[in-house]
Amino acid sequence: MESGGSRERWGTKVGFILAAAGSAIGLGNIWKFPYVAGENGGAAFVLIYIVFVIILGLPIMIAELVIGRHTEKDPVGAFKVIAGGTKWVFVGYLGVLSGFFILSFYSVVGGWTLGYIVKSISGTAAGIDSIETAKGVFQEFSMDPLLMILYHFLFMGSCMVIVIRGIKKGIERWSKVLMPLLFFILIVLIIKGLSMEGSFRGLSFFLKPDFSKITADSIIAALGQSFFSLSLGMGAMITYGSYLSKKEKILHSAMYIVLLDTLIAILAGFAIFPAVFAMNMSPKGGPGLIFHIIPAVFGKMEFGYIFSTLFFVLLFIAALTSGMSLLEVVTAYIIDERGWSRRKGVYVTGTIIFLLGVPSALSFGVIRDATYFLGNTFFDFMDKLTSNYMLPIGGFFIAICLGYKYGLENTIHELDPDTRVISLKELWAFFIKFISPFLILFLFIMLIRDDIVSLFSRLFG
Ligand code: PHE
């Protein structure tokens, strides 16, 4: 225990940054970013994404850390403090609910990474020598109901084991070692991808913006992706901030985390798109994209199975450090607000999340044609509902609540001292109060307008 009170604390500053970066860096960067960018036109999407990361992600990341450290509470408890017993507490509940929903499908993909570790070691992946076989292998895998549920179960179980052990022993220790290794394997992939014939078209897809491909939907996808990738809008960073000692500098930490997260996403793009184009594949491969590409690239390489094993092991661990932050939000709520023990909290919430994830696990096989959810499979529906709506809406209310209800003057002392002419503190305050929430609002109004128009044209067109 580092400072007074009984709340558990991060052991070291680096430990905190790595744990928070561990929450941010995950499937969102390596699995999701490439396929969402691929479906939304490539470079133009990437550009919009980066703009959102800077003007929405960074200020809201700082806001969440400030709220967390200031209140030393889970998201619901934090909003009880800053909203002073008003209805605004629902923002905290919305966050906890998002945690339930996100982890339910996140765990399914986490399970895929486990499955692919097994495939790489057992040699199934080594037999993959073309993109067609790679697709076939993934399809067969993702259609198998028992395997899907088993791997989803194993991933959830792993998150639960770590979260039961508490933050310092569990979360911090794991996050420390593995990030540099992930970096290394991405570089290997990039070199391999770029050396393939035809890879250049992939680079230009990723780097040369074609704004004619941008639609209201792709802007919302970029918005959602920036929140999802940075673990924002649901209180994960509030929860992590609540374990942060008063000595640490929030502004600096937040900048590191955002920078690292964005860097890894961009590297993942460089690793995937050249190979996608070199193999004459469409970048619109959907959620299976990296599970098609990676085995196909490594399948053609000498000792490729070693790299592919390493890749999926690292991806699994990156997913785990994010998954446990999601579970930690839910657990912190149950412990702080309901007074449960950590163990009981994790068992009960983990089981509920597992069950909620079952339809997502089956969404690529048995129930793949059940698209009752506004035209989406259950998996896609949960993903879009949380990333594109719940998280940005959560972020909007976090900013509004801090800026207008609680007042920035009550929390700004949480930020690093700084003596610049325009201080970073003031810049942050300006963004949280006047820019970030209103940009989110504006984007949603645009979207709703578009949706209403398209609904009417579908109904009467
Ligand atoms: N940021 C994580 C990722 O990129 C996912 C996540 C979202 C984690 C929201 C916590 C909260 O994989």
Mean pLDDT to the nearest integer, 136-141: 95
How high is the pLDDT of residue 1? 35
> Cα–Cα distance between 262 and 243 in angstroms, integer?
24
Phi, psi of 376 (to 5 degrees): -110, 160
How high is the pLDDT of residue 419? 65
pLDDT score of 223 more than 90: yes
Amino acid at 26: G
Residue 176: band (very low, low, confident or very high) from pLDDT cuts 50, 70, 90: low
Q: What's the distance, Cα to Cα, between the start and end of the chain in Å?
A: 64
How high is the pLDDT of residue 307? 85
Output the CA–CA distances (angstroms, integers) from residue 244 to 71, 137, 308, 334, 432, in the order listed.
Answer: 11, 44, 36, 20, 21
Output the CA–CA distances (angstroms, integers) from residue 201 to 68, 278, 439, in the order listed.
Answer: 44, 8, 33
Three-class secondary structure of residue 120 per DSSP = helix
CA of 129 to the centre of ligand 1 (A): 32
How high is the pLDDT of residue 2? 38
Residues having CB within 6 Å of any atom of ligand 1? 23-24, 26-29, 102, 228-229, 231, 234, 236, 322, 325-326
Q: Is 286 left (phi over 0), alpha (psi -120 to 50) or beta?
A: left
**Residue pointed to by tokens 């507490």:** 89
Residue 364: band (very low, low, confident or very high) from pLDDT cuts 50, 70, 90: very high
CA of 23 to the centre of ligand 1 (A): 6
Least Cα distance to 423 among 436, 438, 437, 408 occurs for 408
> Cα–Cα distance between 188 and 69 in angstroms, integer?
39
Atom of ligand 1 nearest to the CA of 228: 7
CA of 164 to the centre of ligand 1 (A): 19
**CA dihedral sign, ordered 293, 188, 118, 157:** negative
pLDDT score of 4 more than 60: no
How high is the pLDDT of residue 177? 65
**CA dihedral sign, ordered 68, 92, 332, 341:** positive
CATH number of the 13-460 domain: 1.20.1740
Mean pLDDT to the nearest integer, 18-24: 86
Mean pLDDT to the nearest integer, 447-456: 80
DSSP alpha helices (H): ranges in 211-288?
216-229, 236-242, 250-278
Residue 83: band (very low, low, confident or very high) from pLDDT cuts 50, 70, 90: confident
CA of 321 to the centre of ligand 1 (A): 9
DSSP per-residue codes, 143-177: H-HHHHHHHHHHHHHHHHHHHHT-IIIIIIHHHHH
Atom of ligand 1 nearest to the CA of 323: 8
pLDDT score of 3 more than 60: no
For residue 376, what are the β-bridge partners?
373
Please state, rounded to an integer, the average pLDDT across all residues of the chain: 90
> Cα–Cα distance between 320 and 173 in angstroms, integer?
13
Q: How many residues does the chain have?
A: 461
Atom of ligand 1 nearest to the CA of 27: 12
In this prediction, what percent of the chain has a pLDDT beyond 70? 95
User: Which pTM value belongs to this model?
Assistant: 0.93
CB contact at 8 A, 281 and 202 = no
Q: Per mean pLDDT, which range of 114-118, 263-267, 299-303, 363-367 is the poorest?
A: 299-303
**210-220 confidence digits (pLDDT tens):** 999 888 889 99
CA of 185 to the centre of ligand 1 (A): 21
Residue with the bigger pLDDT between 179 and 308: it is 308
Three-class secondary structure of residue 103 per DSSP = helix
Least Cα distance to 320 among 165, 124, 96 occurs for 165
